[in-house]
Amino acid sequence: MSRTSLSLRLFLLSVLLLVGLGTGWGFFLDRSLQNELLEREDTRLLEHAQVVRVLLEASSDADLDALTDRVAAASHTRVSIVDPQGWVKGDSELNVAELAALEQHQSRPEIQRAMAGQIGHSSRFSATLHQEMRYLAIPAPRGGQTWVVRSSAPLTQIEGALSKQRRTLFLTGLSGLAMALLMSGIASWQAGSVVEQILIRTHAETIKSAPRPGQNAAEALENAVRSLAQERDRFQAVLESLDVAVVAVNQDRKIALVNSAAQRLLRLGEESIGTPLLTALPLPEVRDLLDDEDDRDDDETEVIELELPGATVVQLQATRATTGTVLLFQDVTRLRRLESMRRDFVGNVSHELRTPVAIIRANAETLLDEAIDDGPEPTRMLVGATLRSAKRLGNLITDLLEISRIEAGKMPVRLEALTLANTLAAIQEPMEQLSEDRGVAMETSLVPPDLKLFADPKALQTVLSNLITNGLKYTPAPGQVSLKATVGERTVRIEVHDSGPGIAPEHHDRVFERFYRVDKGRSREVGGTGLGLSIVKHMVRAMNGTLGLQDSEELGGACFWIELPKA
């Protein structure tokens, strides 16, 4: 066999292996990315549909189409309301006259699932809008019947992001494949050269004296070993560059290989090689997975999720081969924490909306039943409570839509040079009124009149208004709230001090989360939506600033501070 023929065979074998492996991983990553983008879009659509569901029961039939228009304008989604018979009673993309020409929607798959009390979603071409759409529908009780609220959005954004990632993945994979093929070709050529030299020298030295073949064979063997060592080093370099923890075990379930990621994530050092896997990782999930793998065919995989000591959540994938099993551990702790935050957010929104809606409903029923005939004073008291609850509900929905726009990147931020004193003057009147109502003094004279900084005018007014209002509400009378500003080398630091009870250190890292309350009883007493500090956090970061919380050494309460670029 010639050197060229042997090298070509080795090269073709490596090409088949690389192309097969790259195609499989590319398909897996593409499907994973597509599913992740659809889940994010479904989460966004679900949040807007839940807002409409809350408002639906309190709206009349004549206001349904206007309700969908308002919510759609704020959330940039298409919103539809379907009655129990499948007729569309409100749609943000159609006027009232066009609604009458629509067919019944009972045959839509997402409508059918929502009518059955479940969350329905589907993707299809919209004959009305002439484009591919993502639909999500939820049941909405109204008047003792099940209505349906459906939100939808074009799939063009998802397809665009997916196409961009596919191009990136394709180009990256193509570059990696080209590099791997080049390295494989060089290695194949070298291996063919080594084998050819061994054959030539062995044949030539059989004619010569006995010592010469041994010497040439030793040199050929040394070259072969050197080539294999180089291949091993390349493989080790690739293995160490992976973020996924890789653990290979042999047929006796003893550890044969670990990479650096496995050493960091699983605390497995070099000394663990050769020890039983279940001794180094005494986890019942790993044992059960290995037992299941013994009953599977070669090259089959199974993926499970487990929690390691220290609250680290990992996704474990096992692939069995004839020589053992390869275990891949991927850290998904941050992903699961984000999912938990999303579930908590939905629960908190439902809880916050339930209270004012219940008050409005109870007061309205009381007025209809008896109080309206008892005279103006009871009626005035109930109407006043209803108005306060309606305002609280409106503020909550406004703040939710504000946060949704900020997180979606749809709130334009235009930074310009501003004078801080002028910004304070724009919000001073409502702040002074609140200060007088609460009996808490407000001090703003510590702000230099000519201090300038880079910020968005409306965003900065919102930030300062929320921080000052927060201090005035939580400071008992007689108390004081003081605002001061200092100029640093590159930033302007604004501090809001209060003489209130302060905030314990264990709450400092969480007060900027949505709906997080240090004292729930006190928060209900002073009102508010629980979203003010979260809005402050997002707006400050959008203006390239930082923020934080510390104890106030001047007034003894809390001190909220922000830092923005100096003008």
Residue-wise pLDDT for 364-373, tens only, equals 667 666 655 5
- 122 and 73 share one domain: yes
348/346 Cα distance (integer angstroms): 6
The pLDDT, as a whole number, for residue 537 is: 92
* Structural domain span for residue 444: 416-565
Please give the tally of structural domains in the chain. 3
- 477 and 536 share one domain: yes
Q: Which structure tokens are listed for 22? A: 């790259």
Dihedral over Cα of 52, 56, 58, 63: its sign = positive
Most confidently predicted of 22-31, 84-93, 478-487, 522-531 = 478-487
Confidence of residue 217 (pLDDT cuts 50, 70, 90): low
Q: Tell me how far the alpha carbon of residue 349 is from its chain's centroid.
A: 18
The pLDDT, as a whole number, for residue 409 is: 66
Smallest Cα–Cα separation from 367: which of 355, 387, 381?
A: 381
25 part of a folded domain: yes
CATH number for the domain spanning 376: value is 1.10.287.130
- 2 and 126 share one domain: yes
Q: How far is CA 205 from CA 197, 209, 233, 344, 459, in A?
A: 12, 7, 33, 79, 86
Lowest mean pLDDT among 23-32, 165-174, 363-372, 376-385: 363-372
54 part of a folded domain: yes
Tell which of 227, 260, 277 closes a domain: 227
Lowest mean pLDDT among 259-273, 375-389, 512-526, 544-558: 512-526
DSSP 328-360: EEEE-HHHHHHHHHHHHHHHHHHHHHHHHHHHH
- 208 and 165 share one domain: yes
Q: What is the mean pLDDT of residues 395-413?
A: 71
Predicted model pTM: 0.41
398/342 Cα distance (integer angstroms): 19
The pLDDT, as a whole number, for residue 439 is: 93
- 2 and 131 share one domain: yes
| Residues 81 and 52 sit within 8 Å (Cβ to Cβ) | yes
Q: Across-strand partners of 307?
A: 313
Tell which of 363, 383, 407 closes a domain: 407
- The position carrying tokens 């073949």 is 213
Beta carbons within 10 angstroms of residue 370's beta carbon? 10
Is 70 exceeded by the pLDDT of residue 271?
yes
- The position carrying tokens 């992976």 is 242
Confidence of residue 427 (pLDDT cuts 50, 70, 90): very high
- 210 and 358 share one domain: no
Question: At 234, which helix (H) or strand (E)?
Answer: helix 211-240
Q: Which structure tokens are listed for 127? A: 């004959």
The pLDDT, as a whole number, for residue 401 is: 72
Q: What is the mean pLDDT of residues 280-288?
A: 83
Percentage of the chain with pLDDT > 90?
Answer: 20
Is 70 exceeded by the pLDDT of residue 187?
no
Q: Which structure tokens are listed for 350? A: 């439902």
CATH number for the domain spanning 497: value is 3.30.565.10
- 360 and 451 share one domain: no
The pLDDT, as a whole number, for residue 212 is: 46
279 part of a folded domain: no
* Three-state secondary structure call for residue 127: coil
423/461 Cα distance (integer angstroms): 6
Q: What is the mean pLDDT of residues 402-427?
A: 82
66/59 Cα distance (integer angstroms): 10
pLDDT digits (tens, 9 = 90+) for 490-534: 999 999 999 998 898 888 888 888 777 666 555 555 555 677 888
Lowest mean pLDDT among 61-75, 364-378, 385-399, 467-481: 364-378
pLDDT digits (tens, 9 = 90+) for 4-51: 666 677 667 777 777 777 777 777 777 887 788 888 888 888 888 888
Is 80 exceeded by the pLDDT of residue 157?
no
Tell which of 227, 260, 278 closes a domain: 227
DSSP 364-401: HHHHHHTGGGS-HHHHHHHHHHHHHHHHHHHHHHHHHH
385 part of a folded domain: yes
200 part of a folded domain: yes
267 part of a folded domain: no
Cα angle: 80, vertex 63, 104; to 5 degrees: 40
| Residues 394 and 523 sit within 8 Å (Cβ to Cβ) | no
Greater confidence (567 vs 15) lies with: 567
Q: How far is CA 410 from CA 31, 50, 72, 330, 405, in A?
A: 28, 20, 14, 33, 5
The pLDDT, as a whole number, for residue 211 is: 45
Q: What is the mean pLDDT of residues 276-290?
A: 83
The pLDDT, as a whole number, for residue 50 is: 87
Q: Which structure tokens are listed for 272? A: 């663990």
- The position carrying tokens 């005018």 is 457
Confidence of residue 213 (pLDDT cuts 50, 70, 90): very low
- 442 and 546 share one domain: yes
| Residues 147 and 56 sit within 8 Å (Cβ to Cβ) | yes
Identity of the amino acid at 219: E
216/332 Cα distance (integer angstroms): 54
Percentage of the chain with pLDDT > 70?
Answer: 76
| Residues 454 and 415 sit within 8 Å (Cβ to Cβ) | yes
CATH number for the domain spanning 57: value is 3.30.450.20
Dihedral over Cα of 135, 139, 141, 144: its sign = positive
The pLDDT, as a whole number, for residue 506 is: 85
298/393 Cα distance (integer angstroms): 59
- 55 and 169 share one domain: yes
pLDDT digits (tens, 9 = 90+) for 308-327: 877 788 888 888 777 788 88
DSSP 566: B
Q: How far is CA 152 from CA 20, 48, 72, 517, in A?
A: 38, 10, 10, 33
The pLDDT, as a whole number, for residue 333 is: 83
- Enumerate residues 6+ apart whose C-beta is below 8 A from 455: 415, 416, 418, 423, 543, 545, 564, 565
Smallest Cα–Cα separation from 466: which of 377, 407, 557, 533?
A: 533
142/57 Cα distance (integer angstroms): 5
- 9 and 67 share one domain: yes
* Three-state secondary structure call for residue 15: helix
Asked whether the bond before 378 is cis by omega within 30 degrees of 0, the reply is: no
The pLDDT, as a whole number, for residue 269 is: 78
Is 50 exceeded by the pLDDT of residue 262?
yes
- 384 and 447 share one domain: no
349 part of a folded domain: yes
Confidence of residue 354 (pLDDT cuts 50, 70, 90): low
pLDDT digits (tens, 9 = 90+) for 97-146: 788 778 888 888 999 999 998 999 888 888 777 888 889 999 998 888 89
* Structure-derived torsion over alpha carbons of residues 426, 430, 432, 437, reported in degrees to the nearest 10: 180
Q: What is the mean pLDDT of residues 211-232?
A: 64
- 456 and 560 share one domain: yes
What's the whole-number average pLDDT of the chain? 79
